[in-house]
Amino acid sequence: MKKTISFAILHFSVAFTITYLLTGSIVIGGAVALIEPAVNTVVFYFHDKVWNRIEANETANNNLASMAVS
């Protein structure tokens, strides 16, 4: 969860800075910085969980395959 929180802080900062530079509006920059990264952070958290499960399954399958060959 710490990794997700640090990613969120970084993402908020980048989203605000880019939107502010493009629009010159603190309000729009703030709105985009709150909405888009918040959604993206939640998606990233679940994406990371899915990939961890995929990697664990691949490791288990590789271990089973190597046991079958032995």
- Enter the pTM of the model: 0.54
Using alpha carbons, select from 9, 65, 8 the residue that is nearest to residue 41: 8
Whole-number pLDDT of residue 22: 97
The 10s digit of each residue's pLDDT in 22-65 is 999 999 999 999 898 788 879 989 999 999 999 999 998 888 77
Cβ-contact 13, 27 below 8 angstroms: no
